Structure 1
């Protein structure tokens, strides 16, 4: 072996997470907060997301990560008066008119030096035509005016595993609906957009009962130089409050 031969480290391996549509319930309320529950009823969920740059395997730091999801009864803040037991058009952003200015179960955090964000929320419920999921958007910021950052690099949806969703959706705050929840494999978006790669790793917080809540985590590989087509810059002007 040539002693002068260069020894190189293996290339980092990180898969690009599949993008999914933002749906009609995106808002830009500029809420920088870790606890997004606003007292919403439901089983506690602690969420940890780690962002990795697929180009070099390095953590994506100082990125603004927004999440939003429905409450235990299937309603989204801003659209609280829409019947979650009836299907609506889930195509373009803004395709469903807003009904109110509520902001529960929405918020954003900046990734730390390890590319990590953490949220305190509740386990999502479900609404007609969808399985249980959480929306995520990643904005890459530059300069000092972080809240006006409009370079959206990645938009996705995180899915909850069936083994945890089944008991949760039978709990008091979630039950008594006129429709049945969809499994992930029954959700058209999940199957069409490779949602199996976006299922959260979920564990119970307490040893004795899942009713104490859950901890969910996932590593998301993104191209921070990409420009997502799922949320466009003009979309931020629609619902800014």
Structure 2
């Protein structure tokens, strides 16, 4: 099945697997398409299609947040945490914030086809993890933070190894004291069916990877589900 476009009305999709939100979740309330904030790295254009897995219909008006580390493995808000040292924590709030930076974070409301688009950079890695992007999908009463209803789905998106290897050879990503984990070495990828959350990634230009990549995926959610990974109070507690 081609998951790059909205599913036909008579199609029922499998639910996309949920993942942990991780310790670096924040709620900066930034509605923006370009989240790069001039961070160095290989450009990445990301398109996510949000689909009701029960009906195959696109989910419009959902608030889709993404966040990920920069080329050196650092997250905004935790920029002073050494990405070459593994952090033994996986739950929200487990690691104290070090700063108020907001790079590589932001949200978009899905359009009438269930699609959101982001301009960012290809993420780097930090100790103990494969390359990934965090995603949270909130069901709302419209394109307004004040009309939020609940968090329906929390996930992590992974990358094909071939594309990642070419990216990690780039100047912005080199010079680390450790190597990244492959997807199959990542415990969360293994435990939470990460193979079903791997982006389709293509080079924007045929001749060179330096112009960046286009990544896309369809995410099937249950719009009535209430995620246990991020609760409404987490959005309130961890707002900038």
Shared fold (TM-score, shorter chain, > 0.5): yes
Taking the aligned partners of 2:45 and 2:84, their CA distance within structure 1 comes to: 27
Structure 1 segments of 4+ aligned residues over 4 angstroms from their partners: none
1:126 aligns with 2:152: no
Taking the aligned partners of 2:41 and 2:143, their CA distance within structure 1 comes to: 36
Question: How many equivalent pairs are there?
Answer: 233
What TM-score results when the alignment is normalised by the length of structure 2?
0.94
Taking the aligned partners of 2:143 and 2:30, their CA distance within structure 1 comes to: 17
Taking the aligned partners of 1:222 and 1:55, their CA distance within structure 2 comes to: 8
Q: Secondary structure at the match of 1:168?
A: helix
Q: Is the 8 A contact 2:32 2:108 kept in 1?
A: yes
1:224 aligns with 2:227: no
Which one is further off, 142-151 or 231-240? 142-151
Q: Which residue of 1 aligns with 2:135?
A: 136
Q: Is the 8 A contact 1:133 1:158 kept in 2?
A: yes
Q: Which residue of 2 aligns with 1:233?
A: 232
Q: Which residue of 1 aligns with 2:211?
A: 212
Q: Which residue of 2 aligns with 1:159?
A: 158
Q: Which residue of 2 aligns with 1:116?
A: 115
Taking the aligned partners of 1:80 and 1:148, their CA distance within structure 2 comes to: 32
Note the 1:1-241 alignment, pairs <5 A.
Answer: 11-142=10-141, 145-147=144-146, 149=148, 151-241=150-240
Q: Is the 8 A contact 2:61 2:142 kept in 1?
A: no
Deviation at 1:148, TM superposition (A): 5.9
Question: Structure 1 regions of 5+ residues with no counterpart?
Answer: 1-8
| Inter-CA distance 147–29: structure 2 relative to 1 (3 Å threshold) | farther
Deviation at 1:156, TM superposition (A): 0.1
Aligned-residue CA RMSD (Å):
1.4
Q: Is the 8 A contact 1:59 1:114 kept in 2?
A: yes
Q: Is the 8 A contact 2:9 2:55 kept in 1?
A: no
1:80-112 CA deviation, whole Å, 9 max, x = no partner?
A: 000000010232100000000000000000000
The structure whose Rg is larger is: 1
Question: Structure 2 regions of 5+ residues with no counterpart?
Answer: 1-7
Taking the aligned partners of 2:47 and 2:143, their CA distance within structure 1 comes to: 25
| Inter-CA distance 208–16: structure 2 relative to 1 (3 Å threshold) | same
Taking the aligned partners of 1:197 and 1:73, their CA distance within structure 2 comes to: 26
Q: Is the 8 A contact 2:61 2:143 kept in 1?
A: no
Deviation at 1:239, TM superposition (A): 2.0
Q: Secondary structure at the match of 1:212?
A: coil
